[in-house]
Amino acid sequence: MPFFGYVGLFLLLPTVIIAAGSFTTKSGSFTFSNLTAINQPYLVKSLVNSLVISAVSAVVGALAGALLAYAVVTGNPRGILRRSVTSASGVLAQFGGVTLAFAFIATLGTTGVVYLFLVDRGIDIFAKGVWLYELSGLVLVYTYFQIPLMLIVFLPALDGIRPQWREATESLGGSTWHYWRYVAGPLLAPSFLGCTLLLFANAFSAYATAQALISQGSIVVPLAISNLLTSETGRAQPGLAKALALMMILIVMVVMVLYAVLQRRTSRWLR
Amino acid sequence: MTRSRRRKLQVFRTAVFLVLGAFFLVPIGAMFEFSTRGNGVAAPRTLDAWTAIAKVPELLPAISVSLQLAVITAVAMLVLLLPTMVWVRLRLPGLSRVVEFICLLPLTVPAIALVVGMVPLYRWIGPNLSDSILTLSFAYLILVLPYTYRTLDAGLAAIDLKTLSEAARSLGAGWGTVMLRVVVPNMSSAILNASLLAVALVLGEFTFANLLAFENLQVAIFFVGSVSAGTSIAVAVASLLFAFVLLMILSFVGRPRERLARDEPTGIPGPFGPPAMPQGL
């Protein structure tokens, strides 16, 4: 079937090229040097940065997204509010990349609307330096697509919570705290954790937003890969780029497998 | 629910919607504001940046190329995926898990990693096949696979494919007729959704184009941004609005019918079932 041929050529072959290229030199002989070359201070730093901003933006996005999902789910299930929020989230979760970076530059950049508005009122958010183009700025921008994604993936779990469970808790003399601590909390925890992992993988793979916001340097792994691939001074190191790509794929795969396991755990009660 | 708890809940909901609403709307509003700024401190609002879109030499070809890529990818996706899925459902149900796994696989391979493996492929395609930017649709087809697969799968699940195709076959229809005149008209909304989704994803794609050294819409916006911030933001707003309209159509139109056919409400808007990992952000 042409489908399998196509997928083999454009999905599996590139993966094989990455895996094989990670272990071969430019001339084609076997080596571990690409993998050991990851152990350079600037690459280790970009890896740590990537893990940190993915984790922070995933946790912030998961908390804010869960609050939003709860606010949505306590409203009318067929209301216009819920329809608009879920549709808008579907759009915004896909809204990344160059446009998103520009939106934040127009908002918080040194000529941005909000920045100028705040400066007029004597508040200089960049008093300690323009952090928008650094790691903390990246976290802020990433939460913009993390929150809607959280809403989309977490809403089904919240929908599975039955009002009867709360009534049952109350009829047994339980308080709001008891309900969240012993009933809703444990039921939602696997889904919440799973969704947080998904958000982590999402931020970890994001490239275009970082590239458009921070064009110089190798501050996160995707930018490091891009620099290794496109370096114009003839210092492009395809082997090292492949080793980094392989590492990214492995990390994302582990995270996604954990996500799938937690989703399965969630569906035991909520569905 | 007691009255005080209800009031607390209302306060909580209003606060959440206000704070997050501001967080999401302000940057988009700021882009509008930025793109209509005049030159100088007290200059009046102008649409110069918008009219300049037509004057930037790189932009128009990039827009046209991105639209072509979007159409090619959407059509190729349908031609490749739909017959395969129909065939697997009818004749090889054992393979359906395999096809699903393959289609969802691109979600676990970050675009930036996949492109590393594609560079050697494109180094071969360039001289041997064609060095046209339209070859990017090979890669984009992989990119849109998980999203379109899920939409088409829901559409196929909503019709009684076996009965329909057997009825058509017993009346003497060939497989081509079955596909074009029976399957496609019966799941037109799913097909429309999948195509719109593919178009929206391709129009927003940056990673592959940039690293394979092709200039599509997003890459052009990126480069124009370093020359003229106002114009690039105007194009960005325009492309965003376009994608917004596409995706809004997709999430509002064409759902009720499928919702009726599937008796369980999914609670998931449009085609974005979990895990809905946006690629190429």
| B266, pLDDT greater than 60 | no
pLDDT at B39: 64
Mean pLDDT of the residues in chain B: 79
Architecture category of domain B55-261 in CATH? Orthogonal Bundle (1.10)
pLDDT at B42: 63
Interface check B31 vs A, CB under 8 A: yes
Residue B27 to residue A10, Cβ atoms within 8 A: no
C-alpha distance from B177 to closest chain A C-alpha (Å): 19
Q: Could you report the per-residue pLDDT of A107-127, keeping only the tens digit for each?
A: 888 778 888 888 888 777 777
- The Cα A237–Cα A227 span in angstroms is 9
Interface check B281 vs A, CB under 8 A: yes
pLDDT at A127: 73
The band of B274, judged by pLDDT with boundaries at 50, 70 and 90, is very low
Residue A103 to residue B251, Cβ atoms within 8 A: no
Instruction: For A81, name the nearest residue in chain B, comparing CA atoms only.
Output: B17
ipTM of predicted assembly, 2 dp = 0.82
Interface check A8 vs B, CB under 8 A: no
The band of B272, judged by pLDDT with boundaries at 50, 70 and 90, is very low
pLDDT at A270: 67
Q: Could you report the per-residue pLDDT of A137-149, keeping only the tens digit for each?
A: 889 999 998 999 9
Residue A208 to residue B210, Cβ atoms within 8 A: yes
Of B145, B149, B147, B161, the C-alpha closest to B261 is B161
The number of C-beta contacts closer than 8 angstroms across A and B is 263
pLDDT at A233: 56
Q: At what angle do helices B111-128 and A185-205 cross, to 10 degrees?
A: 40
pLDDT at A59: 95
Domain regions of chain B by residue span: 55-261
- The Cα B149–Cα B194 span in angstroms is 8
- What DSSP character marks residue B41? S
Output the CA torsion A260→A20→A232→B126 (10° steps). -90
CB B80 within 8 A of CB A2: yes
pLDDT at A58: 94
pLDDT at A92: 81
| B269, pLDDT greater than 70 | no
DSSP output for B267-279: ---TT-PSS----
Integer CA distances (angstroms), B251 to A58, A183, A209, B110, in order: 25, 33, 25, 26
pLDDT at A261: 86
Q: Could you report the per-residue pLDDT of B143-186, keeping only the tens digit for each?
A: 888 888 888 888 888 888 888 888 888 898 888 888 888 888 88
Residues of chain A with pLDDT under 70: 26, 28, 231-236, 270-271
Q: Could you report the per-residue pLDDT of A242-265, keeping only the tens digit for each?
A: 888 888 889 998 998 898 888 888
Residue A198 to residue B269, Cβ atoms within 8 A: no
Region B222-246 average pLDDT? 79
pLDDT at B263: 40
Domains of chain A: 1-31 (no CATH), 41-266 (1.10.3720.10)
pLDDT at B265: 40
pLDDT at B41: 60
For chain A, how far is it from start to end, CA to CA, in angstroms?
Answer: 36
pLDDT at B257: 47
Region B98-120 average pLDDT? 85
- Judging contacts by C-beta atoms under 8 Å, the chain A residues touching residue B277 are 149, 198, 201-202, 205
Region B17-41 average pLDDT? 83
pLDDT at A147: 92
pLDDT at B258: 44
C-alpha distance from B100 to closest chain A C-alpha (Å): 12
